Every structure is written in C-alpha cells, then in structure tokens.
Amino acid sequence: MSRALELPTADGTIDAHIVTPNGAEGPLPAVILLTDIGGLRPCYHEKAQRIADAGYAVLMPNVYYRDAAGEIVPRGQSFRDPEVRPTLFEYASRLTPEAQSRDFVAWLAGIDATPEFVGGSVAVVGYCMTGAFALRMAAEHPTRIAAVAGFHSAKLAQTGDPTSPVELAERIAARVYFGHADQDELLPAEQIARMDEALAKAGVHFTTELYQGAAHGFTAKDAPSYDEDACERHYKRLLTLLEETM
C-alpha cells in the first residue's frame, strides 16, 4: 500500500511516498528509505513494500526534488546509461551536507505530522551515495535516529574531505549496520577500515559485513550488478536490525 505525500521545505516541496503493509492498522514504526543515485523507480518501490510488509511505515522521499519530481530515469533506460548519468551526477552535486541537513528536518517533521507513523525513534536505510546521508542524519539527530543501515555505500571515508561522514562518528548514537560489496570500486578497503576504526573509537554499536563476490549496486534489480543471493541477505540483515532496534 502506497500513497503520495508532499513535504514543505525551505528549498521547495519534497514529493515522497508512504508505504505500509497491506491491510495494516497504523500507526507503525517509521523507516526512512533513501534511494541510490538513480532516484525513485520501481525497484525501490518494491524495496519499500518489502520493508513495510515486515510491520513498518516507510517514508521514501525524492532526494532530487529540487530539480525534478517523480522518476528521473526514463522507463526502459538505466541510471548507468551514458545519456542518463550526467543528469544524475548534476542533480546529486546539489545534495551538499547543508542541503541534506535541511531535508532531514523536513523528513522528520513529515513523520511527526503523518498518522501512519509512530512518533519517536526512526530508522534510516541508504544505498550507494545515501549510505553517507543516513550516517549524517544519525549524527545530526542522535535522539531520533535509532538505527542506520547502508548497503553498497559509496565514499564513506575519503581522506582529505572535512565533510565526510567519517568525521561525524562521535555524534552517532544509533546502531549501525553496513553491507559492503567486496568488489566495490566506490568504497575501497581502506575506506571501510577507516570508517570501522572511527565507529569503534566512538563506541558506536556497529556491524560491518563484506558480501563476497558482490559488486556495487547488488540490491538494485535494474542494474547489471544485481545479485539475488546478496540482495536476499541484505533484506534479512536489515529486517533483523529493525526488529532489534525499533
């Protein structure tokens, strides 16, 4: 079950979706689902429903609302197509830490004002570039974010980047799970090690797991790197995290 929702922000209006279990009576614990760089599209609606069916209300915002509403990638094309990628990278370049922070406030306000959601603790799950967004949100709202999950996350701990989420580890109170692709060129082993070290030093309760043989984007059904076994494992780990924290 899904319905559209509009969230006002200082930067415009976020078009979002609320997804709940079929026939469920609310309110339900809140999970924010952030798409990968490809934005809203059928495989992420499927993800949202899969999570919701475990007993949650899922908020899935369009992270690109400043530039376009709805689906960005045309049907029949892939976010990896050369004619599509420049647009996505242009839109993504505007998602600065400051822009993200304004969006975090709008997402939480939307949850608090919408009857499908239980107030209080919130979980956030991100994919690809939004794994970093989820960590930043947890650092900026430690009293609200109880759980963070990131899958085939990108650029979590680049050296020389003062805005990297690795610099925010000491502010995170949430429980964290990472499912990394061991063939991921966007998150090399040294970045994984640097993030793990920062979280451990900060005393964060976290788990890092390498998905052997998986490549970046292994949960995206519309990507050539999709790995069904790894994707099913990601659902199992995510739902376990949510059950234990939410």
- What is the torsion angle, in degrees rounded to the nearest 10, for the CA atoms of residue 172, residue 177, residue 183 and residue 188? 20
Q: Which of 165, 168, 142, 146 is nearest to 155 (CA)?
A: 165
What does the pLDDT average to over 158-167?
Answer: 93
pLDDT value for 49: 97
- Alpha-helical regions (H) of the chain: 42-52, 85-93, 97-112, 130-140, 189-202, 228-245
Q: Which of 209, 240, 230, 202 is nearest to 54 (CA)?
A: 240
pLDDT value for 84: 84
**Assigned fold of 2-245:** Rossmann fold (3.40.50)
Q: Quick one: pLDDT band at residue 75, thresholds 50, 70, 90?
A: confident
Q: 98-114 pLDDT, tens per residue?
A: 999 999 999 999 999 99
Query: Is residue 205's pLDDT more than 80?
Result: yes
For the stretch 186-216, what's the b/e string if a residue is b when 16 or more beta carbons lie within 10 angstroms of its beta carbon?
ebeeebbebbbebbeeeebebebeebeebbb
Query: Is residue 173's pLDDT more than 80?
Result: yes
Q: Is the CA virtual torsion 106, 107, 108, 111 positive or negative?
A: positive
Q: Quick one: pLDDT band at residue 82, thresholds 50, 70, 90?
A: confident
Query: Is residue 85's pLDDT more than 90?
Result: no
pLDDT value for 74: 81
Query: Is residue 240's pLDDT more than 90?
Result: yes
Q: 116-152 pLDDT, tens per residue?
A: 999 899 999 999 999 999 999 999 999 999 999 999 9
Q: Which residues contact 25 (CB under 8 A, 6 or more apart)?
A: none
